[in-house]
Structure 1
Amino acid sequence: MIREDRFLISRKPYAIDLSTLRGSRIDTPQGRNEYYFDGRIDAVWFRRRKGLTVACIGELWDLQHPEPADARQFLEQHEDGRYGGDCAGRWDGDSYWGNVTLAEQERHLAILRPMLADYPSIPDGYDGWWTFQTA
């Protein structure tokens, strides 16, 4: 991924909470002390659905070797964006979509409501904009 200073929805950017990188080593099928780092990091993003701008929350994931030193390195090594982010919740200004607990839905909406109202601002605590598309 690359970090850009300006927001262009056509480039499918993500704002990332750099403090949330988590993961674990998983052995490769070949064994021989080889592994991948199965990493995940929290993200938010805007997309257009049926002509309407929506705010999404979820995570990005990737299998990497070697294990990244930090969240920035994880993002810089993350090259395969064909699946995009795993969306856990979405707000369109009228309704919420997501299969999460009520407490998690309220946490999501506390981020997504002001995010959509302040489009295209980055929510507090997030770093952006990160995209898989080359310049």
Structure 2
Amino acid sequence: MIRDNRFVISRKPYAIDLSTVTGSQQPRGDLHAFSGSANAVWYRRKDGVTRACIGTLMLFSHYLPEPLDLEDPQAILSAKLDGRYGGDCHGRWDGTGYWGAERPEVQEQHLAILRPMLTACPTTPAGYDGWWTFS
């Protein structure tokens, strides 16, 4: 992934909670495979409407030349990771409607992040590091 200070929605950037970056790795011949995840937020636009999203980002690569430092979230994110699946959205706010969790307490947690995020687009919420894009 690549970290960029500029927000460009067409690059499909993510703001990531670095404290949630986890994963494991195993040797794969002369290379290394990594599989992990992180909590993230992001913006997407559909039909001219910007939406704030919250969910999980799957992180993986099957062909890393060196093992990753699993104690350093930025080292993990800076590796050449595969982003073909994008984020797994758990909640989404478009300014008028919420889609996502059915449990009211989870909805409240999501909206506490998503409402101010959408209002101040394209800022990153407190506790998140952005903007990360897959290369």
TM-score, normalised with respect to structure 1: 0.83
AA partner of residue 37 (structure 2): R
AA partner of residue 54 (structure 2): I
Unaligned runs of 5+ in 1: none
Point out the structure with the larger strand share: 2
AA partner of residue 13 (structure 1): P
Task: Look up the SS of the partner of 2:78 in the other structure.
Answer: helix
In 1, distance between residues paired with 2:52 and 2:36?
23
AA partner of residue 41 (structure 2): V
TM-score, normalised with respect to structure 2: 0.83
Pairing of 1:69-88 with structure 2 (within 5 A): 69=70, 70-88=72-90
Deviation (angstroms), 1:63? 3.3
AA partner of residue 19 (structure 1): S
Residue 22 (1) aligns with residue 19 (2): no
Match of 2:40 in 1: 43
AA partner of residue 16 (structure 2): I
Match of 1:60 in 2: 57
Unaligned runs of 5+ in 2: none
Instruction: Judge conservation of contact 1:36–1:67 (CA < 8 Å) in 2.
Output: no
Query: How many positions carry a matched residue from both structures?
Result: 129
Q: Which has the larger displacement, 89-98 or 69-78?
A: 69-78
Instruction: Judge conservation of contact 1:62–1:78 (CA < 8 Å) in 2.
Output: no
Deviation (angstroms), 1:24? 4.9
Q: Would the alpha carbon gap of residues 11 and 62 (structure 1) be closer, same or farther in structure 2, given more than 3 Å must change?
A: same
Instruction: Judge conservation of contact 1:88–1:100 (CA < 8 Å) in 2.
Output: no
In 1, distance between residues paired with 2:129 and 2:16?
5
AA partner of residue 10 (structure 1): S
Over the matched positions of the two proteins, sequence identity in percent amounts to: 57
Runs of 4+ deviating beyond 4 Å: none
Instruction: Judge conservation of contact 1:3–1:129 (CA < 8 Å) in 2.
Output: yes
Q: 1:64-101, CA deviations, whole angstroms, 9 ceiling, x for partnerless residues?
A: 56354221122112521111111111000011111342
Cα RMSD (Å): 2.3
